Amino acid sequence: MRLLVVEDEPDLNRQLVDALSDAGYAVDTALDGEEGHFLGDTEPYDTVVLDLGLPLMDGISVLEQWRRNQRNMPVLILTARDRWSDKVAGMDAGADDYVAKPFHMEEILARVRALLRRGAGHASSEIEVGPLRLDTRASRVTLDGAAIKLTSHEFRLLSYLVHHGGRVVSRTELIEHLYDQDFDRDSNTVEVFIGRLRKKLPDQMIKTVRGLGYCLEDPNGKCTE
């Protein structure tokens, strides 16, 4: 899952990026509204954390322009604690959730997890595809109840596939959603990690759909494009 953090206070920006990276997400970052707006307008993020008080372009305007431009990714806004009117304006501008400053990082992480699940159409914090179960809170995957040992890269990839289980996901989509903007997009990293994951999963669970991509298949279901 790939996230964007738009926050102009350098320390807070760094804390958010560090915490979200540690949680296994690819994170891009912007320190002002203009750059944040540009990135959100051009890159496919799974969720955005957006401060409202930003230089060059305020957060409400950034959000309004994204929504006007059909950029529909989930957005979590950061508001000042005593400014209830900011929360109302932010939600009306198209935010999905808010956190008031100062906040506990755990709250940001929990709200981001919820937005990512909802964005992929899941309500529960545990997502199942056949015998696979992803616990999004514990960042853990089990197969028929037994934990699977995964590296952080493997987990990131499998987590994305589980969130989108039963749907064909292209290699480009995987690269765009698993790596930050500095990633070398010509590399065959995705194929390598798919190969490693296949060794840890039942045969044919990750299907290759020729010319289209990969699909984590529910044994009872089918892959849809």
Report the interface residues with Ca ion, using CB under 5 A.
8, 51, 53
Between 18 and 191, CB nearer to Ca ion: 18
Minimum gap (Å) between residue 9 Cβ and Ca ion: 6
Give min distance, CB of 31 to Ca ion, in A: 10
Closer of 59 and 130 to Ca ion (Cβ): 59
Q: Which residue is nearest to Ca ion (CB)?
A: 53
**Closest distance of CB 7 from Ca ion, Å:** 6
Q: For Ca ion, which is the closer residue by CB, 11 or 144? A: 11
Q: With respect to Ca ion, which residue has the nearer C-beta, 51 or 86?
A: 51
Please give the DSSP secondary-structure letter assigned to residue 120.
Answer: T
Residue 190 in contact with residue 200, Cβ under 8 Å? no
* CA quadruple 62, 76, 68, 224: dihedral, nearest 10: 140
Minimum distance of Ca ion from residue 10's CB (angstroms): 11
User: Is the CB of 53 or the CB of 94 nearer to Ca ion?
Assistant: 53
The CA distances from residue 212 to 101, 117, 160, 172, 206, in Å, are 43, 24, 16, 10, 13
CA–chain centroid gap for 166, Å, is 18
Rounded-to-integer distance, Cα 124 and Cα 116, Å: 11
CB of 8 to Ca ion, least distance (A): 5
SS3 sequence of 161-210: HHHCCCECECHHHHHHHHCCCCCCCCCCHHHHHHHHHHHHCCCCCEEEEC
